[in-house]
Structure 1
């Protein structure tokens, strides 16, 4: 999903939306070959190379010049496949969505299916951190996005909710998994692990602050730290949050049946 739209001009916004949709829904099969030598690269190849670069180096290090160097072509060659970087980002976003949710189960108990949707979303953003910087208010409505949306809805359909609530439920579980992935990525970028940080900060904190001044915080924080092996663990928080989401949806399902 991505806005990809300049906010300074409403007319330009409309033109960009139409341009991206036509590019995303371009014919992909049974295309007649053009006369002359076969092109050295394809649009699919450009998009795949761009995704690889963004995954490893971030969007800030994805330029048309660097991408062209990765593909062994001149920068101007790319423009015969993608008109600009915003269009490239739309294609990249739709492609990673197309690759996601392909193996979601559709015949398991609803809790397993909802968990699978959350895990798939968590993995999607964990594998493609750059996707976290792409806005979701105006999604790229390409075949990848719509195909993934269809598969996700199929998983949540057994909840027996009305269409509006079903869409809201999917948004809720997706936002939870997306936030959890961002949390995990943030933790991985810290200079010190939670355990190392606490080993460095703990003794000094004990010198400066008396546990009797904050008895509840001391008791709970100590118990949680021992259980996690540090002050914070994004993976454990995601697992606990998943259980809470499923419990809450259970109540919603019971309410819709009553």
Structure 2
């Protein structure tokens, strides 16, 4: 029997150094959160570690294995649909590498469950620049990417590329998930912009983002290009066709 109203979705690819620790950290929280790992065929054995842990957490740790690197966006869409099918009321995006502190999950939950937000964003930039151990070039790229999104779309969100998010169920039920186009980190902007255009209440919750200690970042130049040109495309689609609710 499902004991939690909340599901944390964690996409993984080669996260064997982090996966057990992040799962245990979430399950040690006072509030109960279930976890869905979506592993894209990690050759390092990430999925095998999750399967071992399922013997201890059979009622709240779940795993979907995919055949290869199919993209961050498609991983989350798969997870969103799974969460809706399994009747979760609050659905979270979170990285496996501790760049997002699991202790902040209850704060995002409260922003939606108590404070009335439909979508709560763990924001690195809503109260300055709260990033630890990133190279300055990466900080500047990330910070000005969100400023770029603000200028192009008019969406007044300080951290549009953030990947630490809580959605209320009705947001994911309303968005046409099959019409979300981006697979890389531009997916994060597209989900926020879609929710914004559909009139949902989007709230930023200030967090401290810490660069990963173990494993390798998945960021590359192709992901950056998708973000730059994708934002323009999203704005044009909204201007000339509109972003519509799921039928």
TM over 0.5: no
Greater radius of gyration (CA): 1
TM-score (norm 2): 0.24
Structure with the higher strand share, 1 or 2: 2
TM-score (norm 1): 0.24
